[in-house]
Amino acid sequence: MTLRWGLLAAGSIAEEFAAAIRESEHGTLAAVAARSADRAAEFAARHEIPRSYGGYEALLADPDVDAVYVSTPHPMHAEWAIKAADAGKHVLCEKPLTVSAKEAERVIEAARRNDVFLMEAFMYRLHPQTRKLTELITAGAIGEVRAVDVTFSYDTTGSERERIADPALGGGGILDVGCYCVSVARLVSQAATGIEAVEPTDVIGMAKLDDKGVDEIAMGLLRLPGDIIAQISCGFRLQQDDHIRVYGTRGQLYIEKPSWTFGMRRPRTSTIVLTPSGGKPEAIEVEATKGLFAREADHVAEHLTARQSPIVTWEDTLANIRTLERWGAAVRTP
Ligand SMILES: NC(=O)c1ccc[n+]([C@@H]2O[C@H](COP(=O)([O-])OP(=O)(O)OC[C@H]3O[C@@H](n4cnc5c(N)ncnc54)[C@H](OP(=O)(O)O)[C@@H]3O)[C@@H](O)[C@H]2O)c1
């Protein structure tokens, strides 16, 4: 089957997604919309997209668009994901799906009501590296999991994009990249316990907020099912190594370059280092033939009739956003 995509917004991640559709097996680019017609037309010319629209409503009225990729700043995700679902379009919406759990419930309800597919675009969850990590945990490669350490940050000092620091555009590290840290920590707990869509019992947080209350740097501690403690760290004014470490009773797993760092690069192999307690590190190579975003577009096509992804389920999205809300509140509590 072929899924005809419409891009709702023409920003930086839309550029990557558009390029990736070319490598997908099931996707074609049907149309793009931006708030300005000129910007949409330029984007369409660059990516050889047949139709472009100045305004998102026109894209939703296009009968030759099957699925919409929503990549506005996060506070506008709910409005456009709901409108897309109400227009009968399948929806892949950038992370975080929404800025609150209440909004996420409304988006999910819209997908259910209109009987369309909906997924939050956590493409790293679909990568073979992530699958291998969970397989190793489930197989007991490091014994019982005790702790997780996940970091994702970048430093925009001097080259800041408006979206990242503007409270009106959902600025702050927690929503932008901390959502990955929470997602990974929860996934590790899920793999260790077999409980779906797990949520922490305790959330502790601390942040450096700017003068508008936007979290520039945030750290958190989560107590997760399986008696697992996660330390998570993110920010947009902090240069640290993005990594995943999982510590167990019989060893540890280390991912120096989580798949979300690949962007449009498509390394054929990536590595997970398994170090048994008292033993030597062993590099486990993971093969991947497809890029992250092409994989994501094909995943949508392959699971369209189920209306949700078996990997990034609606319940999982809700659990993630609820945890993000708690982390956001914890760093703002004196
Ligand atoms: N999965 C990933 O790897 C990944 C990576 C980066 C970002 N993201 C997510 O994708 C979303 C967009 O991020 P981005 O980096 O692409 O942002 P960006 O470059 O700033 O693009 C955002 C786009 O949203 C549109 N928009 C609609 N209303 C707007 C408003 N009031 N103010 C500003 N822009 C508005 C604009 O498109 P037009 O004017 O062209 O319509 C703009 O080009 C975010 O939710 C982010 O979390 C995901």
- How many residues does this entry show for the chain? 334
Q: Tokens for 161? A: 């994009």
Residue 177 confidence (pLDDT):
97
Domain count, the chain: 2
- What is the C-alpha separation between 58 and 45, in angstroms, rounded? 18
Q: Is the CB of 95 under 6 A from ligand 1?
A: yes
- Which of 81, 126, 72 has the alpha carbon at shortest distance from 103? 81
Q: pLDDT (tens digit, 9 = 90+) per residue, 264-305?
A: 677 788 999 999 999 999 999 999 988 999 999 999 999 999
286 CA from centroid of ligand 1 (Å): 31
> Under DSSP, is residue 303 helix (H, G, I), strand (E, B) or coil?
coil
Task: Note whether 105 and 81 are within 8 A (CB).
Answer: no
Please check whether residues 275 and 242 belong to one and the same domain.
Answer: yes
Residue 160 confidence (pLDDT):
66
Q: Which of 92, 121, 150 is the last residue of a domain?
A: 121
Please check whether residues 91 and 222 belong to one and the same domain.
Answer: no
Where does the pLDDT of residue 95 fall: very low under 50, low under 70, confident under 90, or very high at 90 and above? very high
Please check whether residues 78 and 186 belong to one and the same domain.
Answer: no
Q: pLDDT (tens digit, 9 = 90+) per residue, 112-139?
A: 999 999 999 999 999 999 999 999 999 9
Place of tokens 């077999």: 194
Q: Which of 90, 121, 152 is the last residue of a domain?
A: 121
Please check whether residues 30 and 128 belong to one and the same domain.
Answer: no
Q: What CATH code is carried by the domain that includes residue 65? A: 3.40.50.720
- What is the C-alpha separation between 324 and 309, in angstroms, rounded? 21
C-alpha angle 269/270/274, rounded to 5°? 130
Task: Give the range of the structural domain holding residue 105, as residue numbers without chain letter.
Answer: 3-121
Please check whether residues 54 and 201 belong to one and the same domain.
Answer: no
Please check whether residues 147 and 14 belong to one and the same domain.
Answer: no
Atom number, ligand 1, closest to the C-alpha of residue 176: 47
Q: Is the CB of 73 under 6 A from ligand 1?
A: yes
Alpha carbon nearest to ligand 1 atom 7, residue: 13
123-138: burial string, b at 16+ Cβ within 10 Å, e else: bbbbbbbbebbeebbe
Cross-strand bridge partners of residue 255: 244
Please check whether residues 308 and 234 belong to one and the same domain.
Answer: yes
Helices 12-21 and 37-47: angle between axes, nearest 10 degrees: 30
DSSP 81-106: HHHHHHTT-EEEEPSSS-SSHHHHHH
Atom number, ligand 1, closest to the C-alpha of residue 122: 1
The pick from 43, 91, 94, 293 for probing ligand 1's pocket by mutation, whose C-beta has the most ligand atoms within 8 angstroms, reads: 94
333 CA from centroid of ligand 1 (Å): 29
Please check whether residues 177 and 308 belong to one and the same domain.
Answer: yes
- What is the C-alpha separation between 248 and 276, in angstroms, rounded? 9
Please check whether residues 250 and 192 belong to one and the same domain.
Answer: yes
Alpha carbon nearest to ligand 1 atom 9, residue: 94
β-pairing, 67-70 vs 90-93, is parallel
Please check whether residues 179 and 47 belong to one and the same domain.
Answer: no
Look at the alpha carbons of 296, 301, 307, 309 in this order and tell me if their dihedral is positive or negative.
Answer: negative
Q: Is the CB of 204 under 6 A from ligand 1?
A: no
135 CA from centroid of ligand 1 (Å): 34
Q: Is the CB of 168 under 6 A from ligand 1?
A: no
Atom number, ligand 1, closest to the C-alpha of residue 162: 20
- What is the C-alpha separation between 316 and 333, in angstroms, rounded? 26
Element (H, E) at 180: helix 179-193
CA atoms within 13 A on the CB side of 11: 14
Please check whether residues 212 and 313 belong to one and the same domain.
Answer: yes
The pick from 42, 59, 71 for probing ligand 1's pocket by mutation, whose C-beta has the most ligand atoms within 8 angstroms, reads: 71
Please check whether residues 112 and 132 belong to one and the same domain.
Answer: no
Where does the pLDDT of residue 163 fall: very low under 50, low under 70, confident under 90, or very high at 90 and above? confident
β-pairing, 145-153 vs 118-120, is unpaired
Q: What is the mean pLDDT of residues 211-232?
A: 98
Q: How far is CA 258 from CA 29, 93, 168, 204, 261, in A?
A: 28, 21, 30, 24, 6
Task: Note whether 22 and 49 are within 8 A (CB).
Answer: no
> Under DSSP, is residue 118 helix (H, G, I), strand (E, B) or coil?
strand
Atom number, ligand 1, closest to the C-alpha of residue 8: 41
Q: Which of 70, 102, 121 is the last residue of a domain?
A: 121
Q: pLDDT (tens digit, 9 = 90+) per residue, 42-68?
A: 999 999 999 999 999 999 999 999 999
Q: Is the CB of 39 under 6 A from ligand 1?
A: yes
Q: What CATH code is carried by the domain that includes residue 196? A: 3.30.360.10
Residue 6 confidence (pLDDT):
98
